[in-house]
Amino acid sequence: MKGEAIVILLVEDDEAHAEIVRRNFETSRIANRLMHVADGQAALDYLYRRNEFSDPANSPRPGVILLDLRLPKVDGLEVLRIIKADPNLSVIPAVVLTTSQAETDMIKAYSNHANSYLVKPVDSVKFTELMETFGYYWLAWNQKPN
């Protein structure tokens, strides 16, 4: 599948999980650019172009956000609440990617307008399959307005 390059903001503090996502997107046939930050504060700085992300050339607007829930500095649910309350950011699809299967976390995520909730499989092969499916759906098949 081919398409325009899309920026994916990955907000993930587990470097092993980030590497699985990175490797999968590098080998996929879907054009994209992965930007990775390791905590919730960095995600907000990136999205609001503050501090090290103040240059728009180094912090392009993402087409989709992959957001872990358990993050240092600012929790993923708080990041989600902030961006979905902002009219300039709320249109960016936010996909929760977490290890939590807790019903309360799912309810909180969807109550804060998460566009999807994905649970990371423990098995690395299944995690890779999940990321491949994510890539095809969100980056190739999903339609968004210009």
pLDDT along the chain (146 residues), means of 10: 72 90 74 87 96 92 93 96 96 92 95 92 81 74 68
DSSP code at position 62: P
**CATH architecture of the domain with residue range 6-140:** 3-Layer(aba) Sandwich (3.40)
In the numeric block, which tokens belong to residue 66?
């992959």
Structural domain spans, the chain: 6-140
Give the model's pLDDT for residue 5: 73
pLDDT computed for residue 4 by the predictor: 62
pTM higher than 0.75 for the full model?
yes
Q: H helices within the chain, ranges in order?
A: 15-27, 40-47, 76-85, 103-111, 124-134
Residues 6+ apart with CB under 8 A from 37: 9, 10, 11, 43, 45, 46
- pLDDT, residue 121, reads 83
